[in-house]
Homo-oligomer: A and B are copies of this chain.
Amino acid sequence: MPDTLSDRLRAYAEVAGQLDVDAVALVPGPNFTRALGQSFMSHERPFVLVIPADKPPAALLPNLELGSWQATGFDGAVFDWRDQTGYDAAFAELLSHLEITSLAVEGQVMRVFVHHALKAAQPDLRIIDAEREISALRMIKTPQDVTALRKAVQISERALTRTLKTIKLGQSEKEIEQTLVRMIFEEGADGLAFTPIVAAGDNSARPHAHARHDYKVKAGDALLFDFGAQADGFCADITRTVFLDHVSDEGRDVYDTVLRANLAGLAVTRAGVTAHDIDDTVTGVLEASPYADRIRTKTGHGLGREVHEAPYIVRGNQMPLPAGTVYTNEPGLYELGSFGVRIEDDVLVTEDGYETLTQFPKELMVISC
């Protein structure tokens, strides 16, 4: 990341120029945090930073944020609004000041009420979704970013190691999840990257399962952990699937298939490989197995300030991954009503290969409990 606020804002101005729009708008979220070096809340209060291609930036923000805002060093125009008077006038003043006719926004971050407020203030404003191009600036991680990611991963792995030692048959998924969460914080997390998935038995076949209060883990269960700590603004995202007490032949075979897919994806990873090629390789291994009908997801996604971000590792995405990209390699096989297996690494792309930030063992693990 460039070192000064004006360098960082200039990079977004260049995106506007490349997109041939008059300006880029950022709202609180990962790009906003990256640009300003500080995070802000939004909730019901609109907060917009507009960076024109060739004019100084301007911001619209809730008056209550002025103190925190000044600490960013931003020296462009500021249009603040107060709860008591509402924000319509501030949008009108902002757009009148900017004199723009087109605006690129982060479609996966900006919410419809802000979109509507912009259109209400200037009905002929052309708003385009440039999520991909705006967020692309976050794709190549700096050494400091990688340090933060590594810290988040290491906290997560220490917490998992400790949690696995506490598991007893008859515990609920929810109890195991609570142990995991407590240990994530004891190990030094600033927060959770997302609500952890702790899913046993049939629940492990739901890629985004919720831990259940009323399911007690039993011998032979697959037990899937998908979770991550947040540290210094960055997210870990790791999945491991273990078996309790014993594993069936089918469980072992499915596990081996998923692990081979994960390893095949690593083997083709180096700077310049496309997202398509990684997914094609990983998914190709799964498709060639007897379990092709259990495929439910793409291979993975970028990882950084957000737990899901560009690049999306999916067939058809011909984006070459530059060195410094961090992505998740997380093949899985899911048989609804039976069980699922997923193995997920956080992978740093390097010039001549890759480094897995996740170091937790991937050999099939059967827990005695």
Contact = CB atoms under 8 A, between A and B. Distances in A.
Interface of A: 38-41, 43-44, 63-68, 70, 83-84, 86, 105-113, 115-116, 127, 129, 131, 178, 181-182, 185-186, 188, 190-192, 194-195, 205-210, 279, 283, 296-298, 301, 307-308, 312, 314-316, 334, 336
Contact of A116 (B107, B279, B308): B107
A350 to B, nearest CB: 25
17 contacts: A43-B301, A64-B207, A64-B296, A64-B334, A67-B205, A67-B206, A68-B208, A84-B283, A84-B298, A84-B315, A105-B112, A108-B113, A112-B127, A178-B185, A182-B182, A190-B195, A191-B192
A152 to B, nearest CB: 15
A112 B113 contact: no
Contacts of A64: 207-208, 296-297, 334
A6 B280 CA distance: 41
A155 to B, nearest CB: 12
Nearest to A182: B185
Contacts of A41: 194, 208
A177 to B, nearest CB: 8
B105 A206 contact: no
B113 A206 contact: no
A215 to B, nearest CB: 12
Contacts of A205: 67
A67 B336 CA distance: 6
A283 to B, nearest CB: 8
Contact of A195 (B84, B191, B298, B308): B191
A40 B208 CA distance: 8
A107 B70 CA distance: 29
A67 B197 CA distance: 15
Nearest to A71: B206
Nearest to A70: B336
A326 B65 CA distance: 25
Given A41-B208, A112-B115, A191-B192, 6 more contacts: A38-B210, A44-B301, A67-B334, A84-B279, A108-B112, A112-B127
Nearest to A185: B182
A39 B116 contact: no
Contacts of A307: 43
Given A107-B111, A110-B111, A113-B107, A206 B68 contact: yes
Given A108-B111, A181-B185, A83 B298 contact: yes
A107 B46 CA distance: 11
Contacts of A116: 107, 129
- 10 cross-chain pairs, A with B, having the tightest CB-CB distances, nearest first: A107-B113, A83-B298, A43-B308, A67-B206, A64-B296, A107-B112, A64-B207, A68-B206, A110-B112, A67-B336
Contacts of A111: 107-112
